[in-house]
Amino acid sequence: MKRFAMYPLAGIAILILGGFAGIAGSRAQTASDEPQFTNGNRLVRPANYRDWIYLSSGLGMTYSKQAGVPELFTNVFVAPAAFRAFQATGKWPDKTIFVLEERAAQSRGSIVQGGHFQGELAGLAASVKDVKRFEEKWAYFSFSAGDSSAAPNPRARCWQCHNDRGAVENTFVQFYPTLKDIAQKLGTYNQEKAANESGPK
């Protein structure tokens, strides 16, 4: 079974962080929206990502024919300045940072009798674009519960598939409807990569 992200409270998920362009948006940029590092290339766990721009959610997304168990919700956020730059150019500025949040899926509770809604935090991951810091430009980080920082994941774990299959640079814009429209309009959407159905080995 291969899932995009791992088990509840293991906090192993896929993220993309990066740098910021000085583009004004409806939210003021704050220093804490930029990726922060400690002890070399360890990414400090992003504190305020729930204030960032929401991109999309999935439920139980998997690139295996076998469903992931348990199915988790995945919510993706990107820092506001990176989003504003993407809106203008269809590309990610240096120091772009993404966060992928995993949450438990609940099916019963209060008036809900069917379908799924979100519960407790189950994992957190991030990705960063930093062309000076990382030879391969993008790096991926997984935070277990309680981790205040994380080292970059090995290239084979996240980077390779993001690089081979991401519609825009190393990012899965094919799964973010509002970004997909922008990238297609601005000519930065790689349809060939996005259409490739083979997941990571």
Among 9, 10, 23, 121, binds a second copy (CB under 8 A): 121
Cis ω before 70 (30° cut-off from 0): yes
Q: Which tokens in the block code for residue 23?
A: 């583009």
Q: Considering only CA atoms, give the Rg of the chain.
A: 16
Q: Of 159, 130, 199, nearest to 15 (Cα)?
A: 159
Q: Is 136 in the site for a second copy (CB under 8 A)?
A: no
Q: Which of 39, 40, 111, 132 binds a second copy (CB under 8 A)?
A: 111
For residue 25, the SS3 value is coil
Query: What minimum distance in Å lies between the beta carbon of 144 and a second copy?
Result: 19
Write out the binding residues for a second copy, residues 63-102 only, by CB under 8 A. Answer: 63-68, 71, 73, 75, 77, 80
189 is an interface residue for a second copy by CB under 8 A: no
Ramachandran quadrant class, 187 (left: phi over 0; alpha: psi -120 to 50; beta: rest): left
Phi–psi pair at 126, nearest 5 degrees? -150, 155
What is the pattern of x (binds a second copy, CB under 8 A) and - over residues 30-69?
A: x-xx--------------x-xx-xx-xxxxxxxxxxxxx-
According to the binding rule CB under 8 A, does residue 184 interact with a second copy? Answer: no
156 φ/ψ angles, rounded to the nearest 5 degrees: -70, -20
Binding interface with a second copy (CB under 8 A): 25-28, 30, 32-33, 48, 50-51, 53-54, 56-68, 71, 73, 75, 77, 80, 103, 105, 109-121, 161, 165, 167, 172, 174-175, 177-178, 194-200
